[in-house]
Amino acid sequence: MSAIDELFDRLRNSGRKALMPFVTAGDPDLGFTAELIRQLVARGSNICELGIPYTDPIADGPVIQASYTRALQGKLKLASIFEMLAGLAPGLPAPIVTMVSYAIVYRRGLAEYAAAAKAAGVAGLIVPDLPVEESGPLAEICRRQDLSLIQLIAPTTPRDRALRIAERTTGFIYYVSVTGITGERTELPAGLVDNVAWLREQTPLPICIGFGISRPEHVRMLKPVADGLIVGSAIVRRVAEAATRPRQQVLSEIGQYVGELLAAM
């Protein structure tokens, strides 16, 4: 079993759900990123998603796009991200997965990227712009490296295609809650719970829901059908304040916010 398989197996056996915060690597710098991940895990987060900044992100709203821009303006390099992770991941009780554009993976080389990610302690890859029809080569490489290849299903995904995606996915399914881009929302779609309930009947894989989740009431609404909940923009927006406010204060406030979400799970 992969690290992610083991995590969700433990959570299911104990009747618990995963909270998965999203953090942009290098915003405002990699030192802060490492501190933030430690804070999130110390507060009780079960798994962390690390965004690899890219100039043309897929489906990311203005908050996360801005964080990518800030990180890239700091001359962030992929090698530096992996170096940071290599010093961080082995000491964490929570797996780390990366959200990464296929262009970055392809440019580095599929086998080389997977090997570097594994060596850095990464447990899985989320590649949002890799169609399931073209995912075979990377899926095989990830299998050999014992990396999970997490794929996305959206509300607009036809059900027959959703089943194909589920068959090619390892680790967990990333279910996109809304049609559109990432970002905090006051309300989630009325049909979301039913859509996820249908998918749960089709696959034994854990299902984690992301996009728009930012409030304890969202957590209470979705925890009956989800194995995990992904929170991104609400955290990244708070991270942006680290450029103008004391970092420890920002870290503490983010930790408190995550604690409020965990209390609703």
Q: What is the pLDDT of residue 57?
A: 66
pLDDT of residue 179: 56
Structural contact between residues 51 and 99, judged by C-beta atoms closer than 8 angstroms: yes
Of 5, 27, 29, 60, which one is the catalytic site residue? Answer: 60
Interatomic CA distance for residues 47 and 19, integer angstroms: 7
Contacts of 1 (CB under 8 A, 6+ apart): 9
Q: Which residues pair with 230 in a beta bridge?
A: 20
The question of whether 27 is a catalytic residue gets the answer: no
Does the structure show a pLDDT above 50 at 254? yes
Per-residue pLDDT tens digits for 8-60? 999 999 999 999 999 999 999 999 999 999 999 999 999 999 999 998 766 56
Instruction: Tell me which residue has tokens 């989630």.
Output: 188
For tokens 């997965």, name the residue.
97
184 among known catalytic residues: no
- Summarize pLDDT for 116-168 with one digit per residue, the tens: 999 999 999 999 999 999 999 999 999 999 999 999 999 889 999 999 999 99
Catalytic, out of 5, 27, 29, 49: 49
- List domains and CATH numbers for the chain: 3-150+226-263 (3.20.20.70)
In contact, 231 and 251? CB cutoff 8 Å: no
- For residue 44, give both structure tokens: 């009780």
pTM over 0.95: no
60-93 tens-digit pLDDT: 678 888 999 999 999 999 999 999 999 999 989 9
